[in-house]
Amino acid sequence: MRIHRSGTAAPGRAPGLALGLVLGLGALTGCGLGSSGKETSPPRTGEPVQPPAATAPAGGTASQPPASEDTGDGGAADALRGKTIVIDPGHNGGNAKNPSAIAKQVDIGNGRKECDTTGTETNAGYAESAFTWDVSNRLAKLLRAQGANVVLTRHNDTGVGPCINERAAIGNRAKADAALSIHADGAGAAQHGFHIIEPVAVKGFNAKAVPASQKLGRAIRDGYHEGTGVAYSNYRGTKALDPRSDLGGLNLSTVPKVFIECGNMRNAGDAAKLSSAAFRQKIAQSLVTGFDKYFTS
């Protein structure tokens, strides 16, 4: 099914989403991240899809493991201790019912854009906001177990927003050592894999943080790829790294920050993984490894 990015979608052009969700349908497309995503025809469609890991624990690993086991690299168990990490769970569960609130235009440094978007969902109706909320909480728990100071940009999955400029401001005010916005994409059914979205320098705003953000992006990419086995995106970025200048959450961040699109919720193989609680725990663990790589490299 063709997916329209919210920034370019004409109202009512959302065929196939017969889920009874009328409000917010216009924005329930793509990942809701904006207009620069173009539909492409990926040359590869036959790549094998790995089944969700059934053996990963769904939340029990933070009990009392030796700290070094969670870092994945042995000698850097304290790399996260005392670090301030801002986790931004993309979208919010109440956004779809409040289209006027999230449609409000905000300044993103090089233009204006809607406050927030609804995000996407799997064909079975698992919402991106629920996915990002779940992964973010699993990740926060693991990071805190290693001594990190974790700040979430929202506190439930039933509210509205915050706006993308505020999501950036939360990281700035916290003087975060690193910030990560968690998303999943809504692309074509044959498109799959994950990618990192890196900032592009916007003068007067994020420029000083771009080099560190690029380092963070590589570390998160490597941690995620190694930890989950999810393939690099076959439709966005180069080796799963995609620089963009149209995202307020990156343009306005004065601290190192990237987005991760953990997979494509409209691809059957990716959706099966993202819908698995055990796999989401594996995602959280892999992101811990990514942060650890960032702080130790």
In the complex, the residues that contact Zn ion under the rule CB under 5 A are 31, 90, 119, 183
Phi/psi for 269 (5° steps) reads: -65, -45
d(CA 86, CA 160): 19
Please state the closest distance from residue 96 (CB atom) to Zn ion, in A: 13
Please state the closest distance from residue 259 (CB atom) to Zn ion, in A: 8
Please state the closest distance from residue 61 (CB atom) to Zn ion, in A: 26
Please state the closest distance from residue 109 (CB atom) to Zn ion, in A: 19
Please state the closest distance from residue 128 (CB atom) to Zn ion, in A: 5
CB 267 within 8 A of CB 190: yes
- 119/249 with CB nearer Zn ion: 119
Work out the burial of residue 179: count CB atoms within 10 Å of its CB; fewer than 13 is exposed, 13-18 middle, 19 or more buried: buried
- 146/253 with CB nearer Zn ion: 253
C-alpha distance from residue 135 to each of 100, 130, 156, 157, 279 (Å): 27, 9, 13, 12, 10
- 56/247 with CB nearer Zn ion: 247
- 35/149 with CB nearer Zn ion: 35
Please state the closest distance from residue 266 (CB atom) to Zn ion, in A: 12
Which of 216, 204, 196, 297 lies closest to 256, judged by CA? 216
Q: Three-class SS of residue 154?
A: coil
Which of 132, 129, 112, 109 lies closest to 120, judged by CA? 129
Q: So which residues are the catalytic ones?
A: 261
> Which residues share a beta bridge with 52?
none
- 31/216 with CB nearer Zn ion: 31
- 31/252 with CB nearer Zn ion: 31
Pairing of β 84-89 and β 149-152: parallel
CA dihedral 80, 249, 280, 41 (to 10 degrees): -130
DSSP classification of residue 127: B
Place of tokens 């173009």: 38
